[in-house]
Amino acid sequence: MKIVKPKQTITALVEDQIVKIEEVESHTHYKKCQITSNFGIKKINEVIFENCTFDRLDFKQMEFLDVIFDNCNLASGDFSEGLIYRSEFKNCQLSGANFIDSKQKNVKWQGCLLSYANYSSSNMESVHFIEGRMTESYFQDCQLKNVIFEEIDANGVDLVGSKLAGLDISKAHFDFLNLDISLAKGLKIGYDQAYKLITLSGIEIVE
């Protein structure tokens, strides 16, 4: 699957500064900055955040367009009801983050810690989770199209209520998943994963 990469024209570098999120400017690379917030904003586009810390993690209903988060701590951040488009999260801490009711298209999550993150009721198209960990994260009642879990620890991921025809887990690592067998038609799995999913249907394998 081909993910459309962020389209960025970066013309400025801001390093080792305290920056209000309301003053974040497009076409800027923020490196090792402390991002503070008073009132919040609704949209960020064409920005790189590298090794930045965020004093406030309330991103509810925000839009992220052509944004890259690189090695940022966003654990327990609230991205619910937001839009993430043509963006990347690389080596970020996102454990317990909330993405409920979000819309995501052309998004790459690489090497991130996503355990206990909640993506339930989200609409996801052309989204790639590669490497890292997403143990016991939630994808309940999601709309999935061209979504891939690849070389990532997906043990205990909860997919209950989601139609899985648009999901490829053939290269993911897991011992068990929570899902509805009745909604699993079209789910892409590897041969070595088949027996793990057969047990969910109540079928017993005997010698």
Asked whether 169 and 150 are in contact (CB, 8 A), the reply is no
Calculate mean pLDDT across residues 63-90.
Answer: 98
pLDDT exceeds cutoff 90 at 6? yes
Residue for token digits 């929570």? 178
Q: 133 lies in a domain?
A: yes
pLDDT exceeds cutoff 70 at 107? yes
Nearest residue to 81 via CA among 63, 65, 102, 97:
102
Q: 70 lies in a domain?
A: yes
Task: Please tell me what DSSP assigns to residue 115.
Answer: T
Range of the domain at 191: 58-201
Q: 24 lies in a domain?
A: no
Q: How confident is the model at residue 186 (pLDDT cuts 50, 70, 90)?
A: very high
pLDDT exceeds cutoff 70 at 205? no
Q: 26 lies in a domain?
A: no
pLDDT exceeds cutoff 70 at 203? no
Report the number of distinct structural domains present in the chain. Answer: 1
State the pLDDT at residue 204. Answer: 66
Angle at 44 between CA 85 and CA 39, to 5 degrees: 130
Q: 156 lies in a domain?
A: yes
Q: 51 lies in a domain?
A: no
Q: 79 lies in a domain?
A: yes
CATH number for 114? 2.160.20.80
Q: What is the pTM of this model?
A: 0.93
Task: Please tell me what DSSP assigns to residue 33.
Answer: P
State the pLDDT at residue 132. Answer: 97
The dihedral built from the CA positions of residue 36, 64, 169 and 120, taken in this order, carries a sign that is positive
| pLDDT one-digit tens code per residue, 35-62 | 998 777 789 999 999 999 999 889 999 9
Instruction: Name the more confident of 185 and 203.
Output: 185
Task: Give dist(CA 168, CA 181) in Å, integer.
Answer: 15
Q: 8 lies in a domain?
A: no
State the pLDDT at residue 37. Answer: 83
